[in-house]
């Protein structure tokens, strides 16, 4: 009999005891609790009651003891309870990398190609005749000997300059990236958690660059009423504040950071869900969340144009579907000459990696 059979769904992704399986859940929960170990463990206790995560041989107390023994957890002497360690922070980044970019095949360090061929660093499939100035390690000896045999015969074998064939090489360029994350209050409005996926993508991208492209640089900037840089260690603890959206301040800081980098390829990735609503004027804040405020928008567009003059493209990842907001993003992208992706939370990581890999192939001179 053909057709579909339906049965009760029984989740099989929940851990069934043992340290390794419980650790995966603990690291995942830390993303949602902004690094609060006590709250994550409290959630695990509730899940244990409902789904039976532990058993008679291995309980939550054993798991907490093992977290301490293996260096993931410490006692918080100041506030009481527990706090996560640097090892746990790194594990969170690695877990995010596996979840978001898990299907990627790793290659050698600094593996980055540009579309330009010549006396570069990495071989490609192209061949050409030897020219003055080519280095000896570029000569394809097997093909050059073959050319000599064809041109002069085996009986009178000799090799001339015209027989030599060299392998083209691609330049490996370095890229400096600033990832901007919107932490305004709208990132958690309407019952949708947008900040946790944004944090996980940031951690995955940072871990990817650290392991696969170690010569590239990544700076992370968060922006609300103001903008400030954060480190990798800060990411698990990042929270949304009661902030408006000062996109101008974020772009200004990102541009300052990139000016200090000596690389030729520079880019800004911006994850946001809304329009700019705030400017800082001296010590006061100019705020307007109603509509598209001309004063705020024009200053933000001027900053986008300045980035264009500095040859810094901005890629905006818009995690909202409101056409009214997308209208601003289109104008912003047109002004900068960059790109915009109207992304859901599920494919945000995929979009960011694809664009990062594509931009790394550019060699701006």
- Which pLDDT band holds residue 106 (cuts at 50, 70, 90)? very low
* Res. 118 pLDDT band, cuts 50 70 90: very low
Percent of the chain with pLDDT over 70: 79
Q: Give the residue carrying structure tokens 């840089």.
A: 229
Same domain for 215 and 271, yes or no, is: yes
Q: What span, in angstroms and rounded, lies between the C-alpha atoms of 262 and 188?
A: 37
The total number of structural domains in the chain stands at 3
Given pLDDT bands bounded at 50, 70 and 90, which one contains residue 344?
low
Judged against a pLDDT cut of 90, whether residue 39 lies above it is answered with yes
Q: Which of 84, 113, 133 is the last residue of a domain?
A: 84
User: What pLDDT is stored for residue 78 in this prediction?
Assistant: 81
pLDDT category at 114 given cuts 50, 70, 90 is very low
Q: Is residue 342 part of a domain?
A: yes
254-304 tens-digit pLDDT: 999 999 998 888 999 998 887 899 999 999 999 998 888 999 999 999 999
40 part of a folded domain? yes
Tell me, yes or no, whether 152 and 181 share the same domain. Answer: no
Pair (57, 165) in one structural domain:
no
- In this structure, of 319-323, 333-337, 355-359, the range with the lowest mean pLDDT score is 355-359
**Strands, DSSP E only, in the chain?**
73-75, 82-84, 117-118, 122-129, 165-170, 175-182, 217-223, 227-230, 265-272, 278-281, 284-287, 314-318, 339-342
The overall average pLDDT reported for the chain is: 81
So what's the pLDDT on residue 5? 59
pLDDT, tens digit (0-9, with 9 covering 90-100), for 164-216: 888 866 556 688 999 999 999 988 877 788 888 888 888 888 888 888 788 88
Q: How many Å from the N-terminal Cα to the C-terminal Cα in the chain?
A: 66
Mean pLDDT of 215-242: 92
- pLDDT at residue 262, rounded to an integer: 86
CA angle 25, 231, 172 (to 5 degrees): 100
Q: What are the tens digits of pLDDT across the range 63-85?
A: 999 999 999 999 888 878 899 99
Residue 90 belongs to a domain = no
Domain that holds residue 142: 122-170
Between 171 and 32, the higher pLDDT residue: 32
Q: Are residues 203 and 351 both part of a single domain?
A: yes
């Amino acid at each position: 009999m053909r057709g579909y059979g339906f049965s009760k769904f029984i989740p099989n992704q929940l851990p069934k005891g043992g340290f390794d399986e419980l650790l995966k859940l603990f690291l995942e929960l830390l993303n949602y609790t902004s690094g609060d170990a006590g709250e994550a463990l409290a959630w695990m206790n509730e899940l244990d009651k409902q789904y039976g995560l532990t058993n008679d041989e291995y309980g939550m107390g054993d798991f907490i003891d093992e977290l301490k023994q293996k260096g993931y957890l410490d006692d918080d002497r100041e506030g009481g309870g527990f706090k996560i360690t640097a090892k746990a922070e790194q594990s969170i980044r690695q877990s995010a990398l596996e979840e978001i970019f898990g299907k990627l095949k790793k290659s050698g360090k600094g593996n980055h190609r540009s579309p330009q061929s010549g006396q570069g660093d990495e071989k490609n499939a192209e061949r050409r005749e030897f020219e003055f100035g080519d280095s000896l390690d570029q000569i394809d000896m097997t093909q050059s000997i073959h050319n000599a045999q064809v041109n002069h015969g085996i009986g009178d074998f000799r090799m001339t300059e015209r027989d030599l064939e060299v392998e083209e090489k691609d330049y490996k360029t370095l890229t400096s990236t600033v990832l901007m994350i919107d932490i305004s209050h709208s990132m958690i409005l309407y019952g949708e958690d947008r900040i946790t996926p944004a944090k996980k993508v940031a951690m995955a991208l940072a871990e990817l660059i650290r392991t696969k492209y170690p010569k590239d640089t990544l700076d992370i900037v968060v922006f609300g009423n103001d903008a400030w840089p954060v480190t990798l260690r800060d990411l698990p603890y990042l929270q949304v504040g009661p902030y408006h959206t000062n996109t101008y301040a974020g772009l200004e800081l990102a541009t300052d950071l990139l000016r200090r980098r000596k690389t030729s390829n520079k880019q800004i990735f911006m994850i946001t869900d809304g329009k700019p609503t705030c400017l800082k004027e001296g010590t006061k804040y100019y705020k307007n969340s109603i509509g598209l405020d001309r004063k705020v928008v024009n200053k933000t567009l001027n900053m986008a144009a300045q980035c264009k003059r500095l040859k810094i493209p901005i890629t905006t990842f818009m995690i909202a579907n409101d056409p009214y907001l997308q209208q601003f993003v289109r104008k912003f992208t047109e002004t900068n000459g960059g790109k915009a992706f109207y992304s859901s939370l599920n494919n945000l990581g995929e979009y960011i990696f694809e664009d990062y890999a594509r931009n790394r192939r550019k060699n701006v001179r």
